Chain A
Amino acid sequence: GQSLEQPSEVTAVEGAIVQINCTYQTSGFYGLSWYQQHDGGAPTFLSYNGLDGLEETGRFSSFLSRSDSYGYLLLQELQMKDSASYFCAVRDRGTDKLIFGTGTRLQVFP
């Protein structure tokens, strides 16, 4: 089976850089993705890492290391609107199901 662990909460100030970690135990998956969800809103897709290494999309970057069973989402130049919950997710090779992590609530302060 799959389990993905994330810190429950992270706080930072505007303009700062924050890293949200995702550690997983899995028997096999295709890639690591990240979703953002504002309170009361729908999850929205942010990024996908199919291969090890860093993927950059604007202010957000995502990293995957399969050998370390570890990934992270890096948010730079934080803005108030980045306050949200962030979920990592993997698609299980055996079932093709997308399995979400426990989620990290990011609070950005002025």
Chain B
Amino acid sequence: EAGVAQSPRYKIIEKRQSVAFWCNPISGHATLYWYQQILGQGPKLLIQFQNNGVVDDSQLPKDRFSAERLKGVDSTLKIQPAKLEDSAVYLCASSDTAEFLTDTQYFGPGTRLTVL
């Protein structure tokens, strides 16, 4: 079974530029998550999708971050414009209905973003 795919793996941009990340979850997984992980900290949930609907985006800085999950499969996360404090690893994860109940999420390799 293929895992969660993310691209790009690394991205370096200057502040005020835009960037987009892509995620393809495990086939059949209804729930998709985007996390931000700052160095030395645990992952922080940005947005959670159930199929193509948003379940929670309370911690998404909506003035600069946006995310979509068209057709309930893959997803993109965009930052526009980027700030220095957005430097972090952006992790995508997915889970199926049964594993959601035991907090089992499968994470992708992440995109390491550096904002200069």
Given the known interface contacts A95-B58, A96-B55, the answer about A43 and B43 at a Cβ–Cβ threshold of 8 Å is yes
Within 8 Å of chain A (Cβ to Cβ): is B107?
yes
Q: Give 1 or 0 for each of A18-49: 1 = CB within 8 Å of chain B CB.
A: 00000000000011010000000111110010
Contact A103 B40 (CB under 8 A): yes
Main secondary structure of the interface of A (DSSP, over half): strand
CA distance A33 to B42 in the complex (A): 13
Are A30 and B42 neighbours in the complex by a CB distance under 8 Å? no
List A75-110 residues whose CB lies under 8 Å from chain B: 87, 89-91, 95-103
Residues of A near B108 (CB, < 8 A) are 42
Contact A101 B110 (CB under 8 A): no
Per the bound structure, the CA–CA distance linking A98 and B56 in Å amounts to: 11
CA distance A103 to B33 in the complex (A): 20
A100 to B48, CA, bound (A): 15
Partner of B91, one of A43, A99, A101: A43
A43 proximity list for chain B (CB < 8 A): 43, 91, 93, 105, 107
Answer whether residue B104 sits at the interface, using C-beta atoms and an 8 A cutoff: yes
Closest 7 pairs (CB-CB, A-B)? A100-B42, A42-B107, A33-B103, A48-B102, A43-B107, A45-B104, A87-B42
Q: Mind listing 30 A-B residue pairs with CB under 8 Å?
A: A30-B101, A31-B102, A31-B103, A33-B102, A33-B103, A41-B109, A42-B107, A42-B108, A42-B110, A43-B107, A44-B107, A45-B103, A45-B105, A48-B102, A48-B103, A87-B42, A87-B43, A89-B103, A91-B103, A95-B58, A97-B48, A97-B56, A98-B103, A99-B45, A100-B43, A100-B44, A102-B41, A102-B42, A103-B40, A103-B42
Interface residues of B (CB under 8 A from A): 4, 33, 40-45, 48, 55-56, 58, 91, 93, 101-110
6 more CB-based (< 8 A) A-B contacts, given A87-B42, A90-B103, A98-B33: A42-B110, A43-B43, A50-B102, A87-B43, A89-B103, A99-B45
